[in-house]
Amino acid sequence: MAREGLLPRMVARGVGWGASVFLKIERRGPELPDGPVLAVANHPNSLLDPLLLFRTGGRPARPLAKAPLFEQTFTGLFLRALGGLPVYRKQDHPDLMHLNARTFDAAIEALTAGDAVQIYPEGATHSDAAIQPLRTGAARIALMAEERSGWTLGLQIAPVGLTYERKELFRGRGLATYGAPFPVAPYRQEYEADPQRAVRSLTDHIARSIQEITLNFAQNEDRELVETAERLYATEKGWTTPRQREGLARRFPRLKAFEEGLAWLRVHDPERHRSLTQRVARYRRKLRALGVEEGEVPAKYRALAMLRYFTIDLVPFALGLPLAVIGTLIWYPAYQGPRLLTRLANPKFEAISSFKISFGFILAPLVLAVWIVLGWLLEGWLGALLVGLTAPILGLIAVAWKDRWRYLKDDARLFRRAVRREKRRQDLAELRAQFVDEFDHLAEEMMATGERQR
């Protein structure tokens, strides 16, 4: 029986909800299964990664985290409340590496009790284009847990792929893709014959499972090319409208298909790969010249569509302005403070969002407490209660209004530039049609090659 108590559940939900204010979080696939489970994930965004699992996993998963985090007052408090387990890395504590045996034992004990445990087998957070070679800790913990339970534990490994868009910015996007869990017990025979070989085999299995649900590129520039190609293809096929901002959950299967297509082309036809990437890059530059950062340029601006846009989008936007202004004023210190403090701390790129959200977790309760005290001083307990209830709601309204403002501002800038450049819009539409034909032919070639190989 799992020991997931009330405190870990409350803390996991609290920090997961906080992450969902900072990021737009989505999930693909089922939540973590019941019983003992080891969640293994890639590690592209430091402390935000476990927060995505807390938000989307459906149950608390005790995190294995590098030991220095437990030494930090605020972060360490949350990690301990969540049942976190410290991992001692050579670069952090070379004289304490022997304590990892104790951590492994604690993780195995948690799994034996039916808990969920999360681990990041790459070993360190990074912003590289592809997942890094995995360390063997996850496989060793899983195999040792089953061995100590007489291979009757029923431990499952749940691969989780984490994908981000604008990951360093407030209101970026984060996607947790849950792959199919698989059991550890089938590795019993190999483990009893050769433990090291079994560890390598299971580590390879974990790596393949994570690769299947993450985007992996030969170089960082490939991601921008794939995102551009996927968006123009989806627009031209009519799967999405030009100015629609789809979430990562809907886009991910298409992005994965384009990632695989780019990798296939790089191997089978390098010259064509080079030509295609250069042309897509030029197309992307044409979009940026019109001010497009997200979405596509409409081939035409129709009067009925514009009227619908104004009535559906602008009217609620205008009506929400007064409440958004009040919410912005109330929470301004909690919004600007993390940005300024993070700039002073000057962390690595992949840790920027972690610093921002950590400072936010500290400043937001302080700001709310100050307003509640002011409400109490002005109107007594009734004023304090009113402020305590309305301030968070106004803050969420301000966040939603700011999201909409960014979209409306981008759309207005594009409209202002695009209506004067009809030929540019037509050229982009023709290029999209050409690219779609080329992408469809590429897909047919890939399928034909696959059939011949089988």
State the pLDDT at residue 82: 75
Token match 């433990």: residue?
195
- Cα 82 from Cα 70, distance rounded (Å): 12
Has residue 2 got a pLDDT over 60?
A: no
Per-residue confidence (pLDDT) for residue 71, from 0 to 100: 72
What is the 8-class DSSP label of residue 167? T
Residue 414 and residue 291 in contact, taking contact as beta carbons nearer than 8 Å: yes
> Which pLDDT score is estimated for 270?
93
Kindly report, residue by residue over 216-228, the tens digit of the pLDDT.
998 888 998 899 9
pLDDT for the residue numbered 88:
67
Residue 373 CB neighbour total at 10 angstroms: 13
- 375-385 pLDDT, tens digit each: 999 999 999 99
Higher pLDDT, 213 or 411: 213
Q: How far apart are CA 268 and CA 249, in angstroms?
A: 30
State the pLDDT confidence band at 3, using cuts at 50, 70 and 90. Answer: low
Q: Average pLDDT in the 436-446 region?
A: 93
Q: Average pLDDT of 339-348?
A: 92
Lowest-confidence range among 296-300, 307-311, 314-318? Answer: 307-311
Fold of 6-212: Glycerol-3-phosphate (1)-acyltransferase (3.40.1130)
pLDDT on residue 1: 41
Residue intervals of the chain classified under CATH 3.40.1130.10 are 6-212
CA 373 vs. chain centroid, Å, equals: 36
SS (H, E, C) the chain: CCCCCHHHHHHHHHHHHHHHHHEEEEEECCCCCCCCEEEEECCCCCCHHHHHHHHHCCCCEEEEEEHHHHCCHHHHHHHHHCCCEEECCCCCCHHHHHHHHHHHHHHHHHHHCCCEEEECCCCCCCCCCCCCCCCCHHHHHHHHHHHHCCCCCCCEEEEEEEEEECCCCCCEEEEEEECCCEECHHHHHHHHHCHHHHHHHHHHHHHHHHHHCCCCCCCHHHHHHHHHHHHHHHHHCCCCCCCCCCCHHHHHHHHHHHHHHHHHHHHHCHHHHHHHHHHHHHHHHHHHHCCCCCCCCCCCCCHHHHHHHHHHHHHHHHHCHHHHHHHHHHHHHHHHHHHHHHHHHCCCHHHHHHHHHHHHHHHHHHHHHHHHHHHHHHHHHHHHHHHHHHHHHHHHHHHHHHHHHHHHHHHHHHHHHHCCCHHHHHHHHHHHHHHHHHHHHHHHHHHHHHHHHC
Closest to 124 in 3D by CA, of 156, 90, 78: 90
- Per-residue pLDDT of 303-313, as tens digits, reads 777 777 777 77
Give yes or no for residue 453 having a pLDDT over 70: no
Q: Is 114 left (phi over 0), alpha (psi -120 to 50) or beta?
A: left
| C-beta separation of 433 from 237 below 8 A | no
d(CA 377, CA 328): 22
Which pLDDT band, with edges at 50, 70 and 90, does 149 fall under? very high
pLDDT band at 5 (very low <50, low <70, confident <90, very high): low
- pLDDT score for 92: 56
Helices 73-81 and 6-22 cross at an angle (nearest 10°) of: 130
What integer pLDDT is reported at residue 354 of this predicted model?
87
For 76-91, write each residue's pLDDT tens digit.
777 777 777 777 665 6
Q: In this structure, are residues 74 and 362 in contact, taking their beta carbons and an 8 Å threshold?
A: yes
CB atoms within 10 A of CB 53: 27
Rounded average pLDDT over 262-268: 92
